[in-house]
């Protein structure tokens, strides 16, 4: 089984669960979460709130890369209003089905979710004003392709807002005890400079690191303490 197939299987299993993510640890305000279908909140799997960085305006078209159950897409939809549109792309059919069900349940006619890979988006060029992505690109083994595709589907002057994780320092051996659930991720993760280089290779000339801090999520094993960094990035086409 390939790395992408294993990741898809993991997220398919997660789609069948509902483990709540504390708003305070994810950067979401109670007001934002109150307006989102609660199933999408419970399945929130990100590491930040990229939509919080967006200066979203009424009528804009927004793309969510790796949209999962739709949490960020629903928050973005609140900001662009009924004249705007939000499309979420995810590689896991179970997540796409669940997110579309949440959109119908929450009466979000301006949000839709589609099956696809972020390295080859099933979308036309220059179709979006803003792209958001929450802790997804780090899983890709071809990050330049992800950024090339994001650059392609953005309109001139469009904005890509990313919350993501990178690694730093000397990493432990991937087969170390306690890293079982992290091995696939570690195989695709990269350092900050490599990540930024991938964005530049994808065509983005304006790349701003808005925030950088150690990631201390509750599931991080001791062997990776101090080795994972959370980045907030703003990139403009």
pLDDT of 9 reads 46
Residues in the chain: 237
Decide: helix, strand or coil at residue 10.
Answer: helix
Its CATH class, for the domain covering 3-236, is: alpha beta
pLDDT of 175 reads 86
Tell me the pTM.
0.87
pLDDT of 229 reads 96
pLDDT tens string, the chain, 237 residues long: the values are: 444 554 444 433 433 444 444 444 456 777 877 888 777 766 555 677 776 777 889 999 999 999 999 999 999 999 999 999 999 999 999 999 999 999 999 999 999 999 999 999 999 999 999 999 999 999 999 999 999 999 999 999 999 999 999 999 999 998 888 888 888 889 999 999 999 999 999 999 999 999 999 998 778 888 999 999 999 999 999
Distance CA 107, CA 116 (A): 24
Handedness of CA 186, 190, 152, 129 (dihedral sign): positive
Query: Which pairs with CB-CB distance under 8 Å and at least 24 residues apart come from 168-177?
Result: 168/192, 168/227, 168/228, 168/229, 169/226, 169/227, 171/224, 171/227, 172/223, 172/224, 176/223
pLDDT of 28 reads 72
Give the residue extent of every domain in the chain. 3-236
pLDDT of 127 reads 98
Distance CA 91, CA 77 (A): 21
């Amino acid at each position: 089984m390939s790395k992408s197939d294993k990741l898809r299987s993991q997220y398919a299993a997660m789609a069948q669960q509902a483990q709540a993510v504390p708003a305070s640890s994810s950067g979401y305000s109670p007001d934002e979460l109150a307006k989102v279908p609660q199933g999408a909140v419970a399945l929130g799997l990100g590491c930040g709130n990229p939509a919080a960085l967006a200066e979203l305006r009424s009528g804009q078209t927004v793309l969510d890369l790796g949209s999962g159950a739709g949490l960020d897409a629903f928050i973005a939809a609140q900001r662009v209003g009924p004249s705007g549109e939000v499309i979420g792309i995810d590689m896991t059919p179970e997540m796409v089905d669940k997110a579309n069900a949440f959109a119908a349940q929450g009466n979000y006619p301006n949000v839709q979710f589609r099956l696809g890979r972020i390295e080859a988006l099933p979308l036309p060029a220059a179709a979006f004003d803003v792209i958001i992505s929450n802790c997804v690109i780090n899983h890709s083994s071809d990050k330049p392709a992800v950024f090339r595709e994001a650059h392609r589907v953005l309109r001139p002057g469009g904005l890509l807002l990313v919350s993501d994780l990178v690694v730093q320092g000397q990493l432990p051996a991937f087969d170390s005890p306690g890293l079982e659930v992290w091995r696939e991720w570690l195989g695709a993760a990269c350092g900050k400079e490599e990540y930024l280089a991938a964005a530049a290779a994808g065509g983005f000339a304006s790349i701003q690191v808005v925030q950088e801090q150690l990631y201390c999520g509750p599931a991080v094993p001791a062997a990776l303490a101090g080795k994972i960094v959370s980045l907030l990035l703003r990139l403009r086409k």
